[in-house]
A and B are shown apart, each in its own frame.
Chain A
Amino acid sequence: MNDITKLTLSESLEALRTKKISAVELTQAYAENMENCRNYNTYITESVEKALIQAKEADKRYANATNRKLEGMPLGIKDLFCTKDIRTTAASRMLYNFVPPYESTVTQNLLDDGAVFLGKLNLDEFAMGGSNETSYFGPVINPWSKDKPLVPGGSSGGSAAAVAAHLCVAATGTDTGGSIREPAAFCGCTGIKPTYGRCSRYGIVAFASSLDQAGPIAQDVRDCAILLNTMAGFDEKDSTSAKVEVPDFTSFLDKDIKGLTIGLPKEYRPEGLNQEVCSYWDVASEYLKSRGANVKEISLPHTKYALATYYVLAPAEASSNLARYDGIRYGYRASDENMSLDELYTATRTEGFGNEVKRRIMIGTYVLSAGYYDAYYLKAQKMRRLIYNDFMEAFKACDVILTPTSPITAFPLGDESMLQNPINMYLNDIFTVSVNLAGLPAMSLPVGLSKNGLPLGMQLIGKPFDEATIFKVAAKLEQDAGFKRI
């Protein structure tokens, strides 16, 4: 392990600015780590050669003082973001050979600020999964694994594992139901899903368009703030992009939290919740109290229904979004000898998609089909309104909400109960999905280790477009928790 790769992103920027190290040295050090840690399977495609060219350019800019905000920072990019001339697979056989002719807005923003891309990070196929086990390119190993391999969480499992193992200084992720926050929690990283509309979705392979948001996964709260500054912003190319000012998120890190009210939703403490998770939750709220914040119990009464609501809406949107994969214009195509066009579509999709993706396409198709639309899809949209209203009501009495990120810590690869019953896997999202349904910003940050030595994450949920308060509170919680990274 190279020492310079132990630096956070803000420390690396400082080291480059003060010429302690060069951008090429930094990129090379990460490339070495990547080579030594291929067993984690975090990268689907490495782009080190390109990265070194970018790093050389960065060094020139430092030399002539034209360096930009992220000049020379070696990032990993979730392989769901289209990157011009770098293969983008969504971890699916369906896109195993797809080389985008264009760049996603979020990655373009990062490039415009001088970032260097080390490669494309593994994920669950089409971001559908909570353990990174549905990837066509194989599972990712959590770097915190002890005697047996553990999952990194999902769907941004490659992103979180790569950040934890210092295979990139920070990474991008996307979050539809918890896909930034859960892997961040499992791997001891910090990740934020911003408010829906904050980051452009242009060029991100679509899963569930009304829920998908991009965000950073990084080593600490400050790094998340720096990256979100660059990733966020209005974009003409995304019709749901919000024309809202992006404040400098780093400016909130040193702000006092005295007098802020922290809400603790009582529904997030169901009977039988893991004792360690409970006690870390208590400890975290004590930290905030001793910083002068008020802590009070709140209620989000429809919490219990969030998962079922999500697992109607997300598959419905996915079935529609994934209809485009037909083997005609790009991606995988089944061998088409003696097939009709319809047979070609069916063969391509049957061979190109994995089981979890097919399951969700079929559930989605069913809940949208004639005769069932009202009973399932419309019903779920109405439930979504109730869940949204719960949060708006709660935010009348508090500024930010504190909950655990996940009811469990990282679990073993190939866990039978999860793989045999998809609902057991879905239940891991219990604390994260409501946030996507309500379009709110939320961060996960590590607060400590379980008895088994595995990271535990806490989640801070903010009002719409109030990432600022999350950053304020997270910075204090991070200081008090003093989590030790690998």
Chain B
Amino acid sequence: MAVDNETVKRVAFLSRLKVEDNKTEAVKEEFNKILAWIEELNEINTENIEPLISVNDIDLRLREDNVTAGNCKDDILKNAPSAEYDYFAVPKVVE
């Protein structure tokens, strides 16, 4: 399954990454090289094989619904590229 330039653009958009128009061709070629390599998996019939999602077959644990960490607003906002009035600040999204 080879991808075309349009697919590269679409995947870039889904990834929120910009691929410059003059780079699209190169990215496509690299993509196809990797995908062609991955195609070798089709040599094996896996029809009745159960997928392995995690080697760790423990059931997820439940805990009491309590606050275990909190009151650290200042610590958290310290890393924000932009914060105002105790909130993360983003560009204006509503006119």
> Which residues of chain B are within 8 angstroms of A366 by Cβ–Cβ distance?
3, 7, 11, 31
Q: A191-204: contact bitstring with B at CB < 8 Å (1 yes, 0 no)?
A: 00000110000000
* A interface majority secondary structure: helix
Tell me the A346-393 residues at the B interface (CB within 8 Å): 346-347, 349-350, 353, 358-359, 361-363, 365-366, 369, 372, 375-376, 378-386, 388
> Which residues of chain A are within 8 angstroms of B55 by Cβ–Cβ distance?
196, 210, 388, 438-439, 464
> Which residues of chain A are within 8 angstroms of B7 by Cβ–Cβ distance?
366
Complex contact B52–A385 (CB within 8 A): yes
**Is the C-beta of A240 less than 8 angstroms from some C-beta in chain B?**
yes
Known A-B contacts A242-B58, A333-B81; A340 and B93 likewise in contact (beta carbons under 8 Å) = yes
**Which chain B residue lies CB-closest to A439?**
B55
**Whole-angstrom distance from the CB of A211 to the nearest CB of chain B?**
9
> Which residues of chain A are within 8 angstroms of B8 by Cβ–Cβ distance?
362
> Which residues of chain B are within 8 angstroms of A347 by Cβ–Cβ distance?
18
Known A-B contacts A99-B79, A331-B81, A386-B46; A362 and B12 likewise in contact (beta carbons under 8 Å) = yes
> Which residues of chain A are within 8 angstroms of B61 by Cβ–Cβ distance?
236, 239
Known A-B contacts A98-B79, A243-B58; A362 and B53 likewise in contact (beta carbons under 8 Å) = no
Indicate which residue in A97, A342, A365, A388 contacts B15 across the interface (CB closer than 8 Å). A365
Complex contact A346–B51 (CB within 8 A): no
**Is the C-beta of A101 less than 8 angstroms from some C-beta in chain B?**
yes
Indicate which residue in B33, B49, B75, B81 contacts A327 across the interface (CB closer than 8 Å). B81
**Whole-angstrom distance from the CB of B88 to the nearest CB of chain A?**
5
Indicate which residue in A197, A243, A305, A381 contacts B44 across the interface (CB closer than 8 Å). A305
Q: B64-92: contact bitstring with A at CB < 8 Å (1 yes, 0 no)?
A: 00000000100110111110000010110
Total contacting residues, chain B, CB less than 8 A: 48
**Is the C-beta of A18 less than 8 angstroms from some C-beta in chain B?**
no
**Is the C-beta of A268 less than 8 angstroms from some C-beta in chain B?**
no
**Is the C-beta of A423 less than 8 angstroms from some C-beta in chain B?**
yes
Indicate which residue in B16, B56, B76 contacts A242 across the interface (CB closer than 8 Å). B56
Complex contact A305–B76 (CB within 8 A): no
Cα A464 to Cα B57 in complex, Å, equals 12
Cα A450 to Cα B53 in complex, Å, equals 39
Complex contact A439–B56 (CB within 8 A): yes
Indicate which residue in B11, B76, B91 contacts A101 across the interface (CB closer than 8 Å). B76
Complex contact A369–B14 (CB within 8 A): yes
Cα A350 to Cα B16 in complex, Å, equals 8
Complex contact A386–B49 (CB within 8 A): yes
Cα A342 to Cα B14 in complex, Å, equals 11
Complex contact B17–A350 (CB within 8 A): yes
Interface centre among B3, B56, B76 (most CB of A within 10 A): B56
> Which residues of chain A are within 8 angstroms of B41 by Cβ–Cβ distance?
305, 308-309, 312, 379-380, 383
Complex contact A385–B51 (CB within 8 A): yes
**Whole-angstrom distance from the CB of B26 to the nearest CB of chain A?**
11
**Is the C-beta of A397 less than 8 angstroms from some C-beta in chain B?**
no
Indicate which residue in A362, A382, A383, A422 contacts B11 across the interface (CB closer than 8 Å). A362
**Is the C-beta of B54 less than 8 angstroms from some C-beta in chain A?**
yes
> Which residues of chain A are within 8 angstroms of B78 by Cβ–Cβ distance?
99, 101
> Which residues of chain A are within 8 angstroms of B3 by Cβ–Cβ distance?
366
Cα A366 to Cα B27 in complex, Å, equals 13
Complex contact A379–B46 (CB within 8 A): yes
**Whole-angstrom distance from the CB of A243 to the nearest CB of chain B?**
7
Complex contact A311–B38 (CB within 8 A): yes
> Which residues of chain B are within 8 angstroms of A359 by Cβ–Cβ distance?
30
**Whole-angstrom distance from the CB of B3 to the nearest CB of chain A?**
7
Q: A381-421: contact bitstring with B at CB < 8 Å (1 yes, 0 no)?
A: 11111101000000000000000000000000000000001
**Is the C-beta of A484 less than 8 angstroms from some C-beta in chain B?**
no
Cα A196 to Cα B54 in complex, Å, equals 9
Cα A378 to Cα B82 in complex, Å, equals 40
9 A–B contacts, CB within 8 A, in A order: A210-B54, A329-B88, A331-B81, A361-B17, A362-B15, A385-B51, A385-B52, A386-B49, A439-B55
5 additional contacts (CB under 8 A) given A101-B72, A346-B16, A346-B17: A197-B56, A365-B11, A365-B15, A369-B14, A386-B44
